[in-house]
A and B are shown apart, each in its own frame.
Chain A
Amino acid sequence: MTLSIRTDGLRVCYGDTEALGDLTLDLPGGKIYGLLGRNGAGKSTLLATLAGFRKPTAGTVRIGGEPIFENLPVTSRTCLIRDDSGVGDTGDNLRDILDMAKHLRPDWDDKYAGELMDRFTLPRKKTVGQLSRGQRSAFGVVVGLASRAPLTMFDEAHLGMDAPTRQLFLDELLRDYLARPRTFVISTHLIEEQSPIFEEVLIIDRGRLLVREELDELRTRGVSVTGPAELVEEFVTGLTVLSRQRLGPTVQAMVYGLLDEEHRRRARAKGLELGPVGVQDLFIHLTDNGRTEAEGAIR
């Protein structure tokens, strides 16, 4: 079972500050969505509203076609794990929290939770307060995945995890998604590391949707140009260069925008290698101060 997400004119304010403004989304179920945005862009507010943690100031949120706020059949099948996880009190031990989740979650898989606890080598008898930051995050991931909620969302759930644990998180998420398809939304700042598992990417900025595209489609919006430094610099003159990486005499430049056939012919003639652009480079470009121009170009 998967759940779709739909928002219409969603607006959320904190006092005088508008965190989300007139946000309209229509996301079919059964996909892994990556939610990207700079600090304060409104990602956490959006996820909290999608999970029913917060009532919108205006507009509607529908999960699986039903309103989410205070709607038990929907909230019980929606799971949001935040960077602070919040799955239990700091004085509760992990075994008790898993037991609580078993009481509360209709799709809870206790056996799978046990397997994940072993894979993440989490001590069941310790309290949440006794765990390291990374262990707390890993425990949040265990609860999120074992909830088997048809809509599962992770908001910077990897914070504090070391690289192998983050990789385990992504591998496990993908493995379970393939075995039991459902809707995932993953908010992250680790764009290059986590974007390979995204099917669609949503970029929000200042409370508004900037980009929504299939990952592969998004990556074709830019080109990486690799070759000898002088040739690359000559080639990219007049193009929008997002970033450059130098390794000895070789330079890789990330160029924003589609290359026309003339540019491609010139690249081939100079022996330059063309490839996909990094999502992170695109993200930085799209959300910087000059984003307005890029926004117009990408849509």
Chain B
Amino acid sequence: MTRWPILRYLLSSHTVFLLLVLIPIYLFVGVVVGAVSIYVDIRLSGVDVVGQVLPWAALGYGASTSNLLPTMLVHGRTRREFLTQHPIFQVITTGLVAALITGCYAIETAAYRALDWEQKVQQQRIYAADEYGTIFTAYWSMLLIWLMVGVFVGVAFYRWEAGGGLALIPAAVLVVLSGGVNGFFSLPFARTDLPLLPVTVVAVAIAYGLLWLSGRDVSLRAKVA
């Protein structure tokens, strides 16, 4: 039997798909920025503006995973396997996406410098446009936490239906906390002074723990999409 079949499947299909979707999006951003520059002076990083959307996309994609868990069970896999291999997929995929985005910042920096444009990022960010190490870490942290939270919420709703709404409470806490620490939210109580790595590890561990509790013995519904 193939080892880590769920992980292999997800990396060979979902990860590749997500990367292939992101590349044209960023190319499109370049085209839009170029078109806008005809009429106004460019002062903002286009990559940074689009980056604001990505954590939300990760949250939604994660929530849709509730369809994937029953499918895996129908194909003879176990919940334990899924709850072990899917998080590894999340770590790898969000890392690759964060690297791709960081690369886009770097390409944009080079292009803006050549054209003598100002590459400002949004005020609440914890990085400047050329601080690639922090950019990578912030995106990886945000995407991973929000993806894990999304999966937890999706599985909780799958398991408890309307009762899964209670999952939104811890999910909201994790989303707001991580958004503030990573500089994606501009909130009055946001704490950008907290250490990023420990906060990420704790938030991911909490989200994973909640996911495990929701999915470890979940029953398949009579009707699957």
Residue-wise, chain A 69-91 has the 8 Å CB interface mask toward B (1 for contact) of: 11110011111111011111110
Q: Are B219 and A76 in contact (CB under 8 A)?
A: no
Q: Are A104 and B72 in contact (CB under 8 A)?
A: yes
Rounded to whole angstroms, the CA-CA distance of A129 and B28 in the bound complex is 30
With contacts A72-B81, A104-B9 taken as known, whether A87 is within 8 angstroms of B222 at the C-beta atoms is no
User: Chain B residues near A80 (CB, 8 Å)?
Assistant: 74
Rounded to whole angstroms, the CA-CA distance of A54 and B219 in the bound complex is 5
Q: Are A71 and B76 in contact (CB under 8 A)?
A: no
Residue-wise, chain A 97-137 has the 8 Å CB interface mask toward B (1 for contact) of: 00111011110000000000000000000000000000000
| Contact among B68, B71, B77, B80 with A76 in the assembled complex (CB-CB below 8 Å) | B77
What secondary structure prevails in chain A residues at the interface with B? loop
Q: Are B81 and A84 in contact (CB under 8 A)?
A: no
Q: Is B113 an interface residue (CB 8 A)?
A: no
Q: Are A71 and B219 in contact (CB under 8 A)?
A: no
Q: In this complex, what residue of B is CB-closest to A45?
A: B222
Interface size on B, as a range, is 20 to 34
Q: What total of chain A residues lie within 8 Å of the partner, measured CB to CB?
A: 35
Rounded to whole angstroms, the CA-CA distance of A283 and B79 in the bound complex is 37
User: Chain B residues near A105 (CB, 8 Å)?
Assistant: 75-76
Q: In this complex, what residue of B is CB-closest to A55?
A: B217
Q: Are B75 and A96 in contact (CB under 8 A)?
A: no
User: Chain B residues near A88 (CB, 8 Å)?
Assistant: 71
Q: Are A76 and B220 in contact (CB under 8 A)?
A: no
Rounded to whole angstroms, the CA-CA distance of A106 and B5 in the bound complex is 10
Q: Which B residues, 169 to 225, have Cβ-Cβ distances below 8 Å to chain A?
A: 217, 219-220, 222-225
Interface residues, chain B, with chain A CB atoms under 8 Å away: 1-2, 5-6, 8-9, 12-13, 67-68, 70-81, 217, 219-220, 222-225
Can you give 17 contacting A-B residue pairs, CB < 8 Å?
A48-B219, A48-B222, A70-B78, A75-B76, A79-B76, A80-B74, A85-B74, A87-B71, A88-B71, A89-B68, A89-B71, A89-B225, A99-B13, A100-B13, A105-B76, A106-B1, A147-B76
